[in-house]
Chain A
Amino acid sequence: MATIHDEIDSWLAADIHGELSEDERSALHAHIVDCAACRKAHQENKVMNKMLEETLAQEKPDPAFEQRMLSGFRNRIPERSGLVKLLVDLMRLRAVQITAVTAILVGLVQMGRMITGENATPLRDRERYAQVEVAAPQPPESRPGQAGALARSGGVAAGRPQDLALEAPPAAPATRSKFHEEGKAAGTTVAPAKAAQPEARDVETLVVPENAAMGEEATQSPVESPAAALANRKLIRNATVELEIVSFDDAVQKITAFANEERGYVATTSSEKQANGKLKGEIVVKVLPENLDHFLQKLRGIGQLKNQTLGTEDVTKAYFDTDARLKNARVMEQRLIDMLKTKTGKVSDLLQVEKELGRVREEIEKMQGELKYWDSQVQFARVTISLAEKDMEEPASFLLKEHAQLALYASDVEKIYNEAKVLASPKVQITNAQLDRDYSGRVSARVSMLIAPEESETLISRVKGFGRVENFQSQTERIAQGGSGMSQNAKTKRDKVELNVTISREEQEQAFQQTSLRIRTSAVDEKAKELRSLTEKQNGRVRSSTFSRDPDGHEVANVSLRVPMKNYSALMQSLNALGRVEDVSVQRQDRIGGQIDEASAPADISIQVYSQGNIVSSDTGLVATLRRTLAQSAAAIMWSLRMIGVAVAFLAPWAIAVIFVVWIAKRIARARQ
């Protein structure tokens, strides 16, 4: 019971407020009975509870409290108007939020594309697709018009255009009115036109123009085209044939004979003789169209067929259109003439009529000419035959062209250059001579000459004698003339030899062999001088030399010299007398293809003469290591800085986009309140 006593306050509170369980309550009451202090507290608590209940009951909110709270709330937060509420409600949807973010991102990407200039091809594709879709439904619309044309053509034959216009199924107004007009024109002009046409052809075609038009219009549906319609078509047939034949004249004769057989004629002939004696030419033959295929068949017998094209142009529609217009124009002419005959009205009106008559007549003539032209085209098929004799490409002769390149080294370039120029003679033609001297004093010369073939051998060997030959190249080219390929009976002719000579100073010559070595000795300066004299003894030259002494007393002399190859070994031998020869390395360049005089070819030797004691490299030691380490770390820092820059550049646009989106989201959240 000690626990109850210790925590009597909470037990008593719970008891008063009815929060004790049955067992707890009996335990508490048992304790209260025992303990006087707790009993007293219990009594006081009961009184106080009552007091509290009474006192606080007065402070309780009145029944209208909730209503007050509600109306206060409504006053302070008025309901949003419809649109704003809808928007806010929409923004609340997760899907809408995602869509908005996606749209923003896509917009950013698109903006980026615009900035970088990438074009939006997919969009264009879609547009095109839409256009195709729009265009597609059109053909069905035009079909009633076609049907109308068919029905109407029948009506023209019956001579009742008015009824037919009614019978025709509902078509587009424009086409219907056109039909109507044409039908009327045809109906009224049949009789006078018939009288005006002298040619039988016109009488024949007069009745059927609309039929033909029907055939033309119905080309998409082959069921509608009977053989009769085909016969009335105006077709211009053209063929081109390319043949390889043995003899041009024979072929022309044969073709003329074939043309006659097929009731045709040879329109034009042209021929041309080639350099190699072969003939080629073109013949234009006109034959009746129905015989064209047969004629072409025959042509194949003449020679080898290389190429053949057969073209047919259908001018039916244009022909009959012009024909119809011609008829209209004739009616017009007749009317104008009638007007002039009656001679009523003012003079100016009559003049107007005459002017109009002139225009109509001009038109009529133009159309007649057009029809005649088409008739002539249709009447005969045109066959263009290109003929070429066999071995057309055989060359007439060959030319041997020799090119020679010579590179010389000489001690005096200018002298050789002048000598070469003096060589000019009737048989030797100097085409180009040039002496170059650059700012560093290097001299080189180029001489180009054309030599008569019989002189070339001797002259080239003479030029070779001018200096040391570094390189000589000669190439011969066989050029076919008047054709290509091989020919057995073509002549071969030698052309002038072209010789290009390049003269350079010996100094510029690359050494045949390069040697580098080190000599350790005590008296560097002295030995270097000795080396110089040794070189001169061996007919060599010192090209450069340096001497240096460092604070430690180490002396180094670098000498580079050049000797002829024949003296190379002798010099090397004598070097041993100077000191200890070390680190000898030899590099030899064998030139392939060049003609080299090895004995006189130059050999370069670079010698480092240095005094006893090691030459300490500045690359070793503590300081050098420290310096290297510092340099490396600096480089590493620079590198990482660069990488950070790259990362920032890479991420910044996205960061901006994300910040933007977050900002928008925050704005929306705030707007919702």
Chain B
Amino acid sequence: MDPNEREQYRAAIHGERDAFEMIIRTHSRALFAIAYGILQNREEAEDAVQDALVKAWKTRWRVHDPEKFPVWLATIARHRAHDIFRKRRTVPLSATIDEAIEPNSAAGTDAPELDQQLHSALAALPELHRAALTLRYFEEMDYRSIENILGLSNGALRGILGRALASMRKQLRPALASLD
């Protein structure tokens, strides 16, 4: 890890606001990607990131090793997103499903239909796969960084993304065929 970065994490852990705000600037997009990967909803993902940042500031003293700070931040964001996800479940499902399905059946145009299909294919993925995909496609992060932030072992991401793409491919095959 870059010594400057490390020093920044250390300062943030020790309660320096400026350092922490700098981390917010540099990391919140990645956190958003992770949260979005879980929630697939921008507003909720933003809330999740916001909550995660506040929680991170309040419990920053729990981190002993500055190097682990980003991973820890990501974990908090993930947990927060999960919480929100779980709360959403308690809202009657039928309404959202109806809403989701209705435009699908009503709209006859190709593009929105494809979009819908892509989203549902994404939704069918395990959330880790989704988070990896969002990190990749939102932030164009390289595999190494994604592995780092998700706390994966070296080289694991290749398989994850491969499987994610493969399963989406299978789901979207008819649509893809029509596109070709």
Contact = CB atoms under 8 A, between A and B. Distances in A.
B161 to A, nearest CB: 4
Interface stretch (A5-13, A297-305, A343-351, A454-462): A5-13
A48 B115 contact: no
A250 interface: no
A70 B137 contact: no
B50 A69 contact: yes
Contact of A92 (B14, B49, B119, B169): B14
Contacts of A8: 162
Given A51-B118, A73-B53, A17 B161 contact: yes
B100 interface: no
A249 interface: no
B49 A69 contact: yes
A350 B24 CA distance: 102
Interface string A296-316: 000000000000000000000
B70 to A, nearest CB: 16
Interface stretch (A52-60, A147-155, A167-175, A487-495): A52-60
Contacts of A130: none
A16 B161 CA distance: 11
B29 A66 contact: yes
Interface of A, helix, strand, loop or mixed by DSSP: helix
Interface residues of B, number: 46
A56 B134 contact: yes
B165 A13 contact: yes
Contacts of A79: 17
A9 B15 contact: no
Contact of A73 (B21, B29, B163): B21
Contacts of A98: none
B49 A14 contact: no
Interface residues of A, number: 43
Given A61-B32, A69-B49, A17 B143 contact: yes
Nearest to B14: A92
Given A14-B162, A59-B36, A73-B21, A48 B54 contact: no
B143 to A, nearest CB: 5
A77 B143 CA distance: 34
A128 interface: no
A41 interface: yes
B180 interface: yes
Contacts of B143: 14, 17, 19
B15 A66 contact: no
Given A48-B176, A52-B137, A56-B138, A69 B53 contact: yes
Contact of A48 (B32, B42, B158, B172): B172
B136 interface: yes
A41 B138 contact: no
B163 A10 contact: yes
Contact of B169 (A14, A41, A76): A41
B46 A65 contact: yes
A61 B162 contact: no
B171 to A, nearest CB: 10
Contacts of B24: 66, 69-70, 73
B137 A43 contact: no
Contacts of A43: 180
Contact of B162 (A12, A47, A70): A12
Interface string A324-367: 00000000000000000000000000000000000000000000
A576 interface: no
Nearest to B60: A673
Contacts of A48: 165, 168-169, 172, 176
Contacts of B118: 51-52, 55
A44 interface: yes
A159 B172 CA distance: 130
B162 A10 contact: yes
A88 interface: yes
Interface in A4-56: 7-14, 16-17, 19, 41, 43-45, 47-49, 51-53, 55-56
Interface in A638-673: 669, 672-673
Nearest to A88: B15
B138 A66 contact: no
B46 A73 contact: no
A545 B136 CA distance: 112
B157 to A, nearest CB: 8
Contacts of B14: 92
A19 B142 contact: yes
Given A41-B169, A47-B180, A48-B168, A73 B158 contact: no
B166 interface: yes
A38 to B, nearest CB: 12
Contacts of A72: 50, 53
Given A17-B136, A17-B143, A45 B165 contact: yes
B173 interface: yes
Contacts of A13: 158, 161-162, 164-165
B19 to A, nearest CB: 13
A68 interface: yes
Nearest to A61: B32
B129 to A, nearest CB: 11
Interface string B31-52: 0100010000010001001100
Nearest to B62: A669
Nearest to B156: A10
Chain B CB within 10 A, most for which of A8, A47, A53, A57: A47
Nearest to B28: A69
A59 B36 CA distance: 9
Interface string A68-90: 11101100110100000000110
A77 B57 contact: yes
Given A9-B165, A55-B118, A88-B15, A673 B158 contact: no
A21 to B, nearest CB: 12
B166 A672 contact: no
Given A48-B168, A60-B138, A9 B163 contact: yes
Interface in B104-119: 114-115, 118-119
Nearest to B26: A66
Given A65-B29, A73-B53, A88-B15, 19 more contacts: A8-B162, A9-B159, A9-B166, A12-B162, A14-B143, A14-B161, A16-B165, A43-B180, A44-B169, A45-B169, A48-B176, A52-B133, A56-B134, A61-B42, A66-B28, A69-B24, A73-B54, A77-B54, A89-B15
30 contacts: A7-B162, A9-B159, A9-B163, A9-B165, A10-B163, A12-B162, A13-B164, A14-B161, A17-B143, A41-B166, A45-B165, A45-B169, A47-B179, A49-B165, A52-B118, A59-B42, A61-B32, A61-B46, A65-B28, A65-B32, A66-B25, A69-B24, A69-B50, A73-B53, A77-B54, A77-B58, A88-B15, A672-B15, A673-B58, A673-B59
Interface of A: 7-14, 16-17, 19, 41, 43-45, 47-49, 51-53, 55-57, 59-61, 65-66, 68-70, 72-73, 76-77, 79, 88-89, 92, 669, 672-673
